[in-house]
Copies of this chain bind each other. A is one copy, B any other.
Amino acid sequence: MIQSVDRSLKILEYLKEHPKGLGITEIANRLGVAKSTAHRLVMTLEEHGYIKQMQEKSVYRLGLKFLEMSNIVVDQLNIVELAHPIMEKISNQTDKISHLVMLDDSHVIYIDKVETPSAVRIYSQLGKRAPIYCTGVGKAIAAYFDEAQLTRYLSENSFHKFTKNTYTEEKEFRHELERINRNGYSIDNEEHEEGIRCVAVPIFDHLNSVNYSVSITGTSVQMTDQHIQEYLPLLKKSATEISSLLGFAQ
């Protein structure tokens, strides 16, 4: 651990906790170093744009450089890469297919899946689009829509009755979303395809918004309510892991 670098990063920490800014003397006191030392550290950080001196002088704040950097970080948060090993664990422990989907307007897109050798092959394709209203993964995301998003979705999409369980009434669908939001998970009870059930949970990103979800899928024989309750803790824990890899704090 290099002392001067460590000190400079501590300065950033202090400024983070004091958004109104700190002066050189305050910084020096907190660090327990001479003013001149603090000054040199601050100058170096300022040179690189990580902190900036306010025009009223005498206070320093965090600089815009962090915006630039965080942007790069967000870009390289490739969710598939991060989520894949976690999904492998899910599939290994449950011996079921796990899916990762992404919100795309009024649909979800399957962006990753993990199969297990012994799991029954269920037709699913990466890149496939599926409706929101009749899939576990879709509903898990929609449960976190705000009112404007939801009304817009409902007005622009009609509900096709794929199976006898498909929700087609707005009122019932809204109830279902509320229930999902309360429970933190959604179930697709053969609403899209006869004989296929799945359980899905939302993934939160660094902005606290839900654009992805992850699910476990199987035939209705493999996925009784009992099975689902058994898998839920693992699935929820996994989603939390993925969320925190995406920078979701708290």
Contacts and interface: CB of A to CB of B under 8 A. Distances in A.
Interface in A19-50: 19-20, 40-41, 43-45, 47-48, 50
A75 interface: yes
Nearest to A71: B127
Contact of A19 (B45, B50, B75, B109): B75
Nearest to A7: B5
Interface residues of A, number: 52
A194 interface: no
Contacts of A55: 85
Nearest to A9: B48
A70 B62 CA distance: 9
A67 B111 contact: yes
Contact of A68 (B1, B61, B109): B109
Contact of A70 (B4, B109, B127, B129): B127
B44 A2 contact: yes
Interface string A112-152: 00000100000001111100000000000000000000001
B41 A5 contact: yes
A247 interface: yes
From A63, A102, A117, name the one whose CB has the most chain B CB atoms within 10 angstroms: A117
B12 A2 contact: no
B206 A67 contact: yes
A6 interface: yes
B206 A2 contact: no
**Oligomeric state, in number of copies?**
2
A109 B84 CA distance: 29
A9 B50 contact: yes
Interface in A48-78: 48, 50, 55, 61-64, 66-76
A8 interface: yes
Contacts of A2: 4, 8, 40-41, 44
A179 interface: no
A249 interface: yes
Interface in A151-207: 152, 206
A69 B16 contact: yes
27 contacts: A1-B47, A4-B5, A5-B8, A5-B44, A5-B45, A9-B48, A16-B68, A16-B72, A19-B72, A19-B75, A20-B76, A61-B76, A63-B73, A64-B102, A64-B109, A64-B127, A64-B247, A66-B66, A66-B69, A66-B72, A66-B73, A67-B73, A68-B109, A68-B127, A68-B128, A68-B129, A71-B128
